């Protein structure tokens, strides 16, 4: 087996990594995506990054078995098309073909969260488990599932939208058009929104001092997390409520998927036990004991590298099919 | 390919069916299970039923490629063990091995609901769909999932327990130990329980006349359905509420599994549009439009035969592995 290249196309940065056949990351490069300059601009940039990786490693393109690419949004991994990626403003972009044309290397694409979770499952915190539920909590809440070692796609490759489970007691309207989607509360945006709302209702909090006269909607989830550590009751209430909502959402997912392990990543996962303690408590209360007793819950360990390693390893598997 | 035998071991009856290689049901026999007389009694009975099927069809055991068996409860389909089946009072019964010993034919077992849904997917209402969510609404609420044509098991073979999704606004305690499981309201038992509760609160209803002095907990779901047809406002309220709860539960399942089709069977499915109209309305409101637009919802068509045909076809597939 040869080497592999994994690429993560994000709204902010493109990261390209070179791995060996086992998924060990050897080199990586990062560039701003500049998605608004168009997809061709991004693909040209990727061509140069791949060439640079080969140069650094002293390899030729014939040494690379495959390129794997994760992009946000809805993907058709069979056709290799990015169907819709809001934060790249891409619609029906033939990503795999465009990169293959420019590099001469077989290229496979998939959803970035699936690739992140696949990376954690193959080389990270969920290694060794057959049934994995992976979630990332950042600006939004996303999830992917691995069943008997294989990614679960569902019809239209649309399975796993944990962030869009509707909870009747969540009052916020979601970008997807529904009211009450879990990610409107369980996300960086959602944590800030809840705190802002409580401040606007006149609740006292250290956060008001920190705002120093700025509008309440300038708050960030990181500030709420920091106020939590100061013992601020508003911040504690928001983190507890968010953790319990996550626990209820995960209870649904555990009861339907029966994972062996839940792996949690994304920026908001840095809140750690502030969020995980109420989440675990609620989850245990809301699932049949048979699930709870066999369930592990772990934090993602590969962080920035999970997506590129997952993309590389997934592409390698698809070569074998 | 030879013929197949599918067996459904239920709490009340054992049904054995002979099919051709394509799953066409040629003959079937039914006997009371008499589960309380012990598993050996049931297996001896199955031996005689299999012999009778062969005699009727003029076949020898060498003409049968495999036997497939569906049993209720938690199953280990790999080891062939019925781990726990409450309504048979079976714990750790080596069902596959016991039947194979008595018949001399390779035997595979699985959960009865999975086999029912598999039957509908291979030969029934969900034929031709790759991603199937099948539910049965009877005494309880059960589900099974088919992903890319294959049954989805999850860790511990425990995936798909839609009936045990917890809803914060369901007040009933479930047999599984949790409060608010969907099946405590969405089932024959749940429909009767809701009507009983409203009567006990003093609500007027034609159901009270029908009870003719008997205790309110003697009500059945079938009576509620009949009162619905008489325009009874209590019955209409119960069926609407049940349908909406089912819609919310299915919304979670659709968002996580992304099925192409939902196939609905079981005794309560006979309530038809009384339940399905509010269910569809709520489901459409509670899922991202991308799911709704590509989703079909159908009623099971094989009824009593889905389980035995599903068991036979599933066993046939397992021979090939």
CB A149 within 8 A of CB A209: no
Mean pLDDT of B70-95: 93
Q: Looking at the partner chain, which of B161, B162, B255 has a beta carbon nearest the beta carbon of A161? A: B255
Contact (CB<8Å) B161/A255: yes
Q: What is the ipTM of this complex?
A: 0.95
Show residues of chain B in contact with A131, CB under 8 Å. 154-155
Q: Looking at the partner chain, which of A178, A259, A289 has a beta carbon nearest the beta carbon of B177? A: A289
Q: Looking at the partner chain, which of B157, B178, B256 has a beta carbon nearest the beta carbon of A257? A: B256
Q: Which CATH number applies to A128-301: 3.30.930.10, 3.40.50.2000, 3.30.420.40, 3.20.20.80?
A: 3.30.420.40
> Is residue B1's pLDDT more than 80?
no
Q: How far is A44 from chain B (nearest CA, A)?
A: 32
CB A286 within 8 A of CB A244: no
Q: Is A36 helix (H, G, I), strand (E, B) or coil?
A: helix
Show residues of chain B in contact with A161, CB under 8 Å. 255-256, 258, 288
Q: Looking at the partner chain, which of B155, B166, B251 has a beta carbon nearest the beta carbon of A251? A: B166
Bridge partners of B299, per DSSP, are B264
B11-33 residue pLDDT tens: 899 999 999 999 999 999 999 99
pLDDT grade, residue B304 (50/70/90)?
A: confident
Q: Looking at the partner chain, which of A166, A259, A288 has a beta carbon nearest the beta carbon of B164? A: A288
Contact (CB<8Å) A164/B256: no
Bridge partners of A305, per DSSP, are none
B83-142 residue pLDDT tens: 998 889 999 999 999 999 999 999 999 999 999 999 999 999 999 999 999 999 999 999
Contact (CB<8Å) B155/A290: no
What's the token pair of residue A99?
């990169």
CA B185 to chain centre: 16
CB B187 within 8 A of CB B138: yes
> Is residue B275's pLDDT more than 60?
yes
Q: How far is A167 from chain B (nearest CA, A)?
A: 9
Average pLDDT, chain A: 95
Contact (CB<8Å) A258/B130: no
Q: How far is B210 from chain A (nearest CA, A)?
A: 36
Mean pLDDT of A304-320: 93
Least confident of A218-232, B48-62, B204-218: B204-218
Q: Is A53 helix (H, G, I), strand (E, B) or coil?
A: helix
Distances A98 to A153, A215, B74 between C-alpha atoms, Å = 23, 45, 48
Bridge partners of A92, per DSSP, are none
Domain B3-121+304-320 top-level CATH class: alpha beta
The pLDDT, as a whole number, for residue A243 is 98
Contacts 24+ apart (CB under 8 A), A168-177: A168/B168, A168/B169, A168/B248, A169/B168, A170/A245, A176/B288, A176/B289, A177/B288, A177/B289
A107-119 residue pLDDT tens: 999 999 999 999 9
Contact (CB<8Å) B161/A288: yes
The pLDDT, as a whole number, for residue B86 is 83
The H or E element that residue A310 is part of is helix A306-320
Mean pLDDT of B288-295: 96
The pLDDT, as a whole number, for residue B36 is 87
- How many whole angstroms separate alpha carbon A24 and alpha carbon B194? 58
Q: How far is A221 from chain B (nearest CA, A)?
A: 26
Query: How many residue pairs bridge chain A and chain B with CB atoms within 8 Å of each other?
Result: 126
Q: Looking at the partner chain, which of A156, A256, A289 has a beta carbon nearest the beta carbon of B256? A: A256
The pLDDT, as a whole number, for residue A321 is 55
Which of B134, B184, B256, B294 would you mutate first to test chain A, the one with the most A CBs within 10 A? B256
Mean pLDDT of A49-76: 96
A203-235 residue pLDDT tens: 999 999 999 888 888 999 999 999 999 999 999
Interface of A with B (CB under 8 A): 74, 130-131, 145, 147-148, 152-162, 164-166, 168-169, 176-178, 248, 251-253, 255-260, 285-291, 294
Q: Looking at the partner chain, which of B148, B253, B294 has a beta carbon nearest the beta carbon of A156? A: B294
pLDDT grade, residue A120 (50/70/90)?
A: very high
The pLDDT, as a whole number, for residue B87 is 82
Q: Looking at the partner chain, which of B159, B166, B177 has a beta carbon nearest the beta carbon of A257? A: B159
More confident residue, B152 or B216: B152
Q: Looking at the partner chain, which of B147, B155, B253 has a beta carbon nearest the beta carbon of A294? A: B155
Among A121, A125, A113, residue whose Cα is nearest residue A150: A121
Q: Looking at the partner chain, which of A152, A258, A287 has a beta carbon nearest the beta carbon of B156? A: A258
Which of A255, A283, A291 would you mutate first to test chain B, the one with the most B CBs within 10 A? A255
Contact (CB<8Å) B288/A176: yes
Among A58, A65, A56, residue whose Cα is nearest residue A5: A65
CA B129 to chain centre: 19
Among A300, A305, A266, residue whose Cα is nearest residue A26: A305
Q: How far is A177 from chain B (nearest CA, A)?
A: 7
Among A157, A201, A215, A164, residue whose Cα is nearest residue A186: A164
End-to-end CA distance of chain B: 15
Contact (CB<8Å) B251/A165: yes
Residue A213 DSSP one-character state: T
Interface of B with A (CB under 8 A): 74, 130-131, 147-148, 152-162, 164-166, 168-169, 176-178, 248, 251-253, 255-260, 285-291, 294
Contact (CB<8Å) B166/A294: no
Among A133, A158, A131, A161, residue whose Cα is nearest residue A147: A131
The pLDDT, as a whole number, for residue A1 is 55
Helices (H), A78-215: 95-103, 112-123, 188-200, 206-211
pLDDT grade, residue A304 (50/70/90)?
A: confident
**Chain B residue with minimal CA distance to A284?**
B178
Question: What single string gives the DSSP state of each residue in B270-321?
Answer: GGTHHHHHHHHHHHHHHS-HHHHHH-EEEE-SSGGGHHHHHHHHHHHHHHH-
Contact (CB<8Å) A166/B259: no
B227-237 residue pLDDT tens: 999 999 999 99
B153-177 residue pLDDT tens: 999 999 999 999 999 999 999 988 9
**Chain B residue with minimal CA distance to A157?**
B258
The pLDDT, as a whole number, for residue A86 is 83
Structure-token match 């791995």, residue found: A19
Contact (CB<8Å) A130/B255: no
The pLDDT, as a whole number, for residue A162 is 97
Domain B128-300 top-level CATH class: alpha beta
Q: How far is A71 from chain B (nearest CA, A)?
A: 19
Contact (CB<8Å) B147/A154: yes
> Is residue B321's pLDDT more than 80?
no
Show residues of chain A in contact with B291, CB under 8 Å. 158
Residue A231: exposure state from Cβ atoms within 10 A (0-12, 13-18, ≥19): exposed
CATH 3.30.420.40 residue ranges for chain A: 3-121+304-320, 128-301
Among B24, B6, B25, B252, residue whose Cα is nearest residue A253: B252
Which of A154, A156, A160 would you mutate first to test chain B, the one with the most B CBs within 10 A? A154
Residue A172 DSSP one-character state: P
CATH 3.30.420.40 residue ranges for chain B: 3-121+304-320, 128-300
Contact (CB<8Å) A160/B256: yes
Average pLDDT, chain B: 95
Provide CB contacts within 8 A for A96, sequence distance 6+: A69, A79, A80, A81, A107, A108, A109
The pLDDT, as a whole number, for residue A319 is 82
pLDDT grade, residue B202 (50/70/90)?
A: very high
B135-154 residue pLDDT tens: 999 999 999 999 999 999 99
- How many whole angstroms separate alpha carbon B168 and alpha carbon B180? 6
CB A294 within 8 A of CB B155: yes
pLDDT grade, residue A194 (50/70/90)?
A: very high
């Amino acid at each position: 087996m040869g080497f592999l290249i994994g690429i993560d196309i994000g709204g902010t940065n493109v990261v390209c990594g070179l791995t060996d056949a086992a998924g060990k990351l050897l080199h990586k490069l990062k560039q701003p995506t500049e998605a608004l300059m168009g997809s061709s601009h991004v693909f040209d940039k990727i061509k140069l990054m791949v060439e640079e990786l080969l140069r650094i490693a002293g390899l030729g393109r014939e040494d690379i078995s495959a390129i794997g690419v994760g992009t946000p949004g809805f993907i058709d991994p069979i056709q290799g098309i990015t169907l819709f990626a809001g934060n790249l403003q891409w619609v029906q972009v033939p990503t795999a073909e465009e990169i293959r044309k420019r590099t001469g290397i077989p290229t496979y694409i998939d959803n970035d969260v699936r690739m992140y979770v696949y990376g954690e499952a193959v080389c990270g915190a969920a290694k060794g488990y057959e049934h994995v539920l992976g979630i990332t909590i950042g600006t939004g809440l996303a999830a992917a599932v691995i069943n008997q070692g294989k990614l679960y796609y569902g019809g239209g490759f649309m399975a796993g939208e944990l962030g869009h489970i509707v909870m009747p007691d969540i009052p916020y309207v979601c970008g997807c058009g529904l009211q009450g989607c879990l990610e409107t509360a369980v996300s960086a945006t959602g944590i800030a929104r809840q705190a802002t709302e409580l401040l606007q209702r006149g609740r006292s909090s250290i956060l008001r001092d920190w705002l120093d006269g700025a509008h309440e909607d300038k708050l960030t989830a990181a500030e709420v997390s920091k106020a939590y550590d100061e013992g601020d009751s508003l911040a504690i209430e928001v983190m507890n409520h968010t953790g319990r909502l996550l626990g209820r959402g995960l209870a649904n997912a555990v009861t339907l998927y029966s994972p062996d392990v839940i792996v949690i990543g994304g920026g908001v996962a840095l809140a750690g036990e502030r969020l995980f303690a109420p989440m675990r408590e609620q989850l245990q209360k809301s699932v049949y004991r048979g699930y709870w007793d066999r369930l592990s819950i772990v934090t993602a360990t590969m962080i920035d590298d999970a997506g590129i390693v997952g993309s590389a390893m997934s592409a390698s598997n698809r070569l074998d099919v």
